[in-house]
Structure 1
Amino acid sequence: MNRIQFLKPTELYNIIQQRSRYPSVSDNNFLLILDARSAAEYAESHIITAKLAPRQDDGQWKVPYEAELECKEHIVVYDGHSRSRDASESEDELNAIQLAKFLVAQGSKNPIQIADGGYEDFSKLYPFLRTKKILYMPKELDVIVTYPTEIIPGQLYMGSVEQALNKRIQKDLKVRAHVAVTNENETYFATDSDKLCRVGIEDEVGSDLLSCLDAVCKFIDDRLENSDVVLIYSDLGISRNSAVALAYLVYKEKCTLREAWKAVLKCQKSTRPNRGFIKQLSQWEEKVLGERKTDIEDPAF
């Protein structure tokens, strides 16, 4: 197993947005983000929930207090702009790589992930996720705002009704169109707007999603071609919206349902279309690709 991995900005964004009942960042064992820049740079601005990576008096790294490296599901480090291609750069520009090697040597259970492009690239793409806040109380993390997960970077997102009605989120992500897979009546865009596609079905095994997929996928295509950012949402953001996201990836990328499943699950680990939707997605795969290539009886589904 590669003990040090580079993480694309969209991957770090999605890790931060994971949630179940509560935001995953409120779980002490879920995520540790360490900023390997100077204390002054960190104080000026840093990625949300990040901690300043501590050093000893001689400048050498040390393990953060109560870091418990063996328990963390994700340990992410970053500096100003280290990239995966930076092997020939000077040592001063490789702080994240130095820190990652140190943490591996200290016994991290999982790989250390380096934010590719560092703070500079991440903050350009997600300026709303930078902050000066240093200390978070547990109750603050329990109610921290999570954003929709990013399926196609900067273009297609997947979320909940609550997120779809949040004006701040629409502004930050520059969302210009919605696919509402819900019977919820309240919408951000007017019901007669060309920015809204409604799929009024319940999250039930017998609900008919298949007959809507042609129109929905064409709507998403049209909006993306018009440079609109699209958000697919359902009530909780787990089943109906993910079924549509899966269908669109099969339609757009001409990939198998299995490949689409792996891609969406990587973006949002709580992805759980109901069994009826999975069967209809198998039919959709056959329609788009000309044959069924995915065994939906596999335990992975």
Structure 2
Amino acid sequence: MPGLLLCEPTELYNILNQATKLSRLTDPNYLCLLDVRSKWEYDESHVITALGVKKKNNEYLLPESVDLECVKYCVVYDNNSSTLEILLNDDDDDSDSDGDGKDLVPQAAIEYGRILTRRTHHPVYILKGGYERFSGTYHFLRTQKIIWMPQELDAFQPYPIEIVPGKVFIGNFSQACDPKIQKDLKIKAHVNVSMDTGPFFAGDADKLLHIRIKDSPEAQILPFLRHMCHFIEIHLHLGSVILIFSTQGISRSCAAIIAYLMHSNEQTLQTESCSVTQAGVQW
């Protein structure tokens, strides 16, 4: 039987923003995101596409119209769960289970996650820090919307993938030219690894590094890497959030981010390639 795993906010952010031609959220078997907070908290705001978990006779109900056996990612969150350990609650009743005036009480997300593990073929993820931490970091992914129509999911515009939490993102040219994305992610510097140019970057010479390289197997990116790593390090030192992008956000930008991670972390190509792949980057 699959178990429970903690899911960092960055991981859920990247899961929500996976895309090919369309957002992966259009696939009903891709993500089942479940909110076990109270109904009024859910109605006030929740993470996009999250389903509010219902109770009957004080027992949690399984989500309707979701084939849990086929879902790739099943993520549960409450207000602020940050561990898979069971909490100790004070109890005035002397008949408690451990004899020390305390009861072992699982947090809501863990309690519901255990129920789901009996129905899934994959691990159930518990969002670390819950809604409070996630919404504090990714406020732009909050909503009051409860029902999502297929055409609305088709039109959903994913954000760039987060590689270094809160510091480095990887995306495509369209995302790089979207003012809302720049504002939401607080992006202040760009590395453009393509032949494309756009008016959005006019006058940003100090904040834009443009590596003009064609999307071709014969293209040589190696001569640019030292300067690129230096540019990224300077802007990270200044506290800037950086977006590395190419036309489609795949081959050239991936090569650039892997090279930077190898330089920064002093790790091998295989190690950093795996870390980028685990973040959900296609290349």
Q: Give the TM-score taking structure 1 as reference length.
A: 0.86
Q: In 2, distance between residues paired with 1:188 and 1:239?
A: 23
- Which is further off, 26-35 or 184-193? 184-193
1:54, distance to aligned residue in structure 2 (A): 2.1
Match among 161, 169, 176 for residue 181 of structure 2: 169
Q: In 2, distance between residues paired with 1:188 and 1:157?
A: 18
Taking only aligned residues, the RMSD between alpha carbons, in angstroms, comes to 1.5
Decide whether the 8 Å contact of 1:48 with 1:129 is kept in 2: yes
Say whether 1:184 aligns with 2:196: yes
- Gap change, CA 1:114 and 1:187, over 3 Å in 2: farther
Larger helix proportion of the pair? 1
1:55, distance to aligned residue in structure 2 (A): 1.9
1:92, distance to aligned residue in structure 2 (A): 7.2
- Which is further off, 128-137 or 186-195? 186-195
1:140-193 per-position Cα deviation (integer Å, ceiling 9, x unaligned): 001112100000000000000000000000000000000001111215333661
Decide whether the 8 Å contact of 1:82 with 1:93 is kept in 2: no
Aligned to 2:61: 62
Q: Give the TM-score taking structure 2 as reference length.
A: 0.92
Identity of matched residues, %: 39
- Gap change, CA 1:242 and 1:191, over 3 Å in 2: farther
Say whether 1:39 aligns with 2:39: yes
Say whether 1:252 aligns with 2:264: yes
1:67, distance to aligned residue in structure 2 (A): 1.1
Q: In 1, distance between residues paired with 2:186 and 2:204?
A: 20
1:38, distance to aligned residue in structure 2 (A): 0.6
Decide whether the 8 Å contact of 1:149 with 1:157 is kept in 2: yes
Say whether 1:234 aligns with 2:233: no
Aligned to 1:98: 111
Decide whether the 8 Å contact of 1:157 with 1:231 is kept in 2: yes
1:94-145 per-position Cα deviation (integer Å, ceiling 9, x unaligned): 110001000112x211100000000000001100011101101001001112
| Paired residue type of 2:149 | M
1:205, distance to aligned residue in structure 2 (A): 0.3
Q: Within 5 Å, give how 1:23-38 maps onto structure 2.
A: 23-38=23-38
1:269, distance to aligned residue in structure 2 (A): 4.1
Equivalent residues, number: 269
Decide whether the 8 Å contact of 1:182 with 1:200 is kept in 2: yes
Decide whether the 8 Å contact of 2:2 with 2:120 is kept in 1: no
- Secondary structure in 1 aligned to 2:209? strand
- Gap change, CA 1:154 and 1:35, over 3 Å in 2: same
- Secondary structure in 2 aligned to 1:197? strand
1:203, distance to aligned residue in structure 2 (A): 1.2
- Gap change, CA 1:53 and 1:44, over 3 Å in 2: same
Note the residue ranges of structure 1 that are not aligned, 5 or more in a row.
273-301
Q: In 2, distance between residues paired with 1:228 and 1:187?
A: 21
| Paired residue type of 1:102 | I
Q: In 2, distance between residues paired with 1:80 and 1:214?
A: 44
Q: In 2, distance between residues paired with 1:187 and 1:257?
A: 35
Aligned to 1:289: none
Larger strand proportion of the pair? 2
Aligned to 2:158: 146
Decide whether the 8 Å contact of 1:34 with 1:78 is kept in 2: yes
- Secondary structure in 2 aligned to 1:82? coil
Say whether 1:225 aligns with 2:225: no
Note the residue ranges of structure 2 that are not aligned, 5 or more in a row.
90-103
- Secondary structure in 1 aligned to 2:270? helix
Decide whether the 8 Å contact of 1:78 with 1:96 is kept in 2: yes
Q: In 2, distance between residues paired with 1:263 and 1:76?
A: 21
Decide whether the 8 Å contact of 1:7 with 1:114 is kept in 2: yes
| Paired residue type of 1:6 | L
- Secondary structure in 2 aligned to 1:251? helix
- Secondary structure in 2 aligned to 1:233? strand
Decide whether the 8 Å contact of 1:190 with 1:196 is kept in 2: no
Aligned to 2:94: none
Aligned to 2:74: 75
1:93, distance to aligned residue in structure 2 (A): 7.1
